[in-house]
Amino acid sequence: MNTRDRLLGLTVAVLWGLNFLAIRVGLDHFPPFFFAGLRFLVIAVPVLLFVRRPDVPIKWLLLYGFGFGFAQFAFLFAAMNAGMPTGLASLVLQSSAPFTIVLGALLLREHVSRRQILGITIAIAGMCLIGYDRSQAASLVPVVLTLLAGLGWAFGNLGNRLAKSTEPMRLMLWMCVVPPIPMLALSAATEGPTTGWRALAESFSATGWPALAGLAYIVLVGTIAGSGLWTVLISRNPAGVVAPFSLLVPVVGIGAAWIFLAEIPTVLSLIGAAVVIVGSVGGMASRRGAAAPAPLAEPLRV
């Protein structure tokens, strides 16, 4: 990897890490399920009008969209709305990596090396440390919801992998077409049919504009710019070389939440975070000479 691509990788990590601040700002104004549905709806409309659908089986596109788009963000936004700290959410979501390896082995019969098993075990130990620390603060439920978001992302990874698309950016854009209707239906059923739309109307006021700015950041910077740059990096370099940059996302997320939101993580949570990252790094590579596994090569588009 050349210096230009390293700088692009660092840029993507910063863009995605700051994305969690934009989510926090949006959730301070919008109900969580409506906000998640709106985030995809803004992308889905122009995609349906102007972007050709990738030539992949519809069942794998649906699995990708329901796993990565619907399940991940329904659980993630619900977790953050229930009190999951912004920075810690960016870290616990990395559970998608070991989840993907395990699901790949169970459902796709993919080989799992001893090094990957060790990495998964270490990452799970780190998650347990974080869960224990949060349970002491009577806030275990948001951690569980965030872990379920990571599991949803992992199922989305399987759909992406099984689609075997030669047009990854086009596939990612069409994935955004799947979540809006079920997410907005969930919002109407649980948050009220008009609650989210009233919040959207109020966002065009002097006090509501930060929520719109957060939505714009998530769509334009986090999804389109960040995912576009990531796709370029993956096309130029081996996935195993690019993947470690995604591990910088929670570092940026935790640091940004510390600076801008005064979310000071506990020592035990920081230790757990370090353990998760070590385990994820160890689990990314299999035996020497083998192809690098894909779990973390799938961009963290939040």
Tell me the pLDDT band of 27, cut-offs 50, 70 and 90. very high
Tell me the pLDDT band of 118, cut-offs 50, 70 and 90. confident
Half-sphere exposure of 127 (CA within 13 A, CB side): 26
pLDDT score recorded for residue 296 = 40
20, exposed or middle or buried, with CB in 10 Å at 0-12, 13-18, 19+? buried
Q: What percent of the chain has pLDDT over 90?
A: 41
Q: Is the pLDDT of residue 282 over 80?
A: no
235, exposed or middle or buried, with CB in 10 Å at 0-12, 13-18, 19+? exposed
Helix axes 72-81, 32-50, angle to 10 degrees: 150
Tell me the pLDDT band of 184, cut-offs 50, 70 and 90. very high
pLDDT score recorded for residue 297 = 40
Place of tokens 């990565």: 68
Tell me the pLDDT band of 294, cut-offs 50, 70 and 90. very low
Residue 62 vs residue 105, higher pLDDT: 62
CA dist 194 and 187 (Å) reads 9
Q: What is the pTM of this model?
A: 0.84
User: What's the Cα-to-Cα distance from 184 to each of 40, 53, 208, 273, rounded to whole Å?
Assistant: 10, 23, 21, 33
Q: What percent of the chain has pLDDT over 70?
A: 88
58-72, 98-112, 258-272, 283-297: segment of lowest average pLDDT: 283-297
Give the DSSP letter string of 26-84: HHTTS-HHHHHHHHHHHHHHHHHHHSPPPSS-HHHHHHHIIIIIIIHHHHHHHHHHTT-
How many other C-beta atoms lie within 10 A of the C-beta of residue 240? 17
Tell me the pLDDT band of 295, cut-offs 50, 70 and 90. very low
**Average confidence score pLDDT of the chain:** 85
Q: Is the pLDDT of residue 234 over 80?
A: no
Residue 183 vs residue 84, higher pLDDT: 183
Instruction: Output the six-digit token pair for 69.
Output: 């788009």
Task: Please name the amino acid found at residue 121.
Answer: T
CA dist 258 and 253 (Å) reads 8
